[in-house]
Amino acid sequence: MIRMMTIEMRILWRVAVALLLADAATQAQTNSATSTNQASSSTNQVSSSTNQVSSSTNQVSSSTNQVKSATAAPAKPPPAVPTNGWKSSVAVGFSLARGNADTTLASFAANTQKKWTHNDLMFGADGLYGKTRLPNSSQSQTTAETLHGFSQYNRSLGDGFYAYARADGFHDGVADIKYRLTLAPGIGYYFVTNKTVDLSLECGPGYIKEQLDGKSESFATLRAAQRFHYAISPHAKVWDTVEFLPQADHLDNYIVNAELGVESALTKNNKLNLRTVLQDSYNNVPAAGRLKNDLKLIAALAYKF
């Protein structure tokens, strides 16, 4: 009996030990799973934080790129309106008188100019033609017959200086000048130049070839010229030019050309203008039987385009 009880006690003890071991193993598995879940949750939290940091970094990077883009590519200004086109004008004058003397006088002038940053190019032509018939005469007499053309190129050298090359052609039938061709390169200087006023002086050598009084000749010359323009207002201006051309080896043989002009707009857009010009041509050695000085006062309507 005692032995039976002893055997039962051993069996119960073993069962209790087995149950305790099984419970311990289950608890260990549960704790392990909980730790694993906690570690996984922590890892997920770290990953989420990392993603948030990465997202913030990307936002900062995007903002930086936007700032760089704005700095590197500023807004483009509106295109500038070109101001270096050709500026041209044509002027026509006409005078008619009938009575004791029949007089007809016509004049024209055309000019065009273009300015670049360092270059100027100018062309011009003008002419005057007049006839007069005296009383009791059937023949008209030519009282004015001039034709003049020029071209000039200026190249800026900086500090107000510029190099120029100029060519002139001139004809005066009344003064018996069949033709006079003048070539003159040189250096010019602007004492002042702006939108309101400009004053310049030019000087250099030159060459003249002409047919005067039926005789052809050519000679070297010197050239000095002064130019002045002044805008009295947006609708009016005055100007003057003086040119002195002495023969290099015979200074008593010289030519002086001068012009004084005033112009006033007749329309608000300055397209149509009234122009009055006083021109003087002086030749110290004229053709035989001709006077040294020719003075002309011309009024004309000028159209600008």
Q: How far is it between the farthest Cα atoms of the chain? A: 189
* Distance in Å from the first CA to the final CA of the chain: 143
With 0-12 CB in 10 A as exposed, 13-18 as middle and 19+ as buried, what is 245?
Answer: buried
Task: Please compute the mean of the pLDDT values over residues 179-187 and round it to a whole number.
Answer: 98
Write down the CATH number for the domain with range 87-304: 2.40.160.40
How much is the pLDDT for 43?
A: 43
Residue 95, amino acid: S
How much is the pLDDT for 120?
A: 95
What is the DSSP-derived secondary structure letter of residue 84? -
The per-residue pLDDT for range 40-96, each reduced to its tens digit, is 444 444 344 445 534 444 554 555 455 454 445 455 555 544 456 899 999 999 999
How much is the pLDDT for 7?
A: 58
Q: Which residue has the higher pLDDT, 11 or 235?
A: 235
- Sorted by where each begins, the domain ranges of the chain are 1-76, 87-304
What are residue 273's phi and psi, to 5 degrees? -135, 155
Give strand pairing partners of 256.
Answer: 244, 282
Q: Which residue has the higher pLDDT, 116 or 134?
A: 116
How much is the pLDDT for 59?
A: 53
**Pairing between β-strand 272-283 and β-strand 293-304 as defined by DSSP bridges:** antiparallel
State percent of the chain over pLDDT 70.
72
Give strand pairing partners of 189.
Answer: 161, 201
Give strand pairing partners of 161.
Answer: 158, 189
Please state, in angstroms and rounded to a whole number, the distance separating the CA atoms of residues 172 and 280: 13
Average pLDDT, the chain: 83
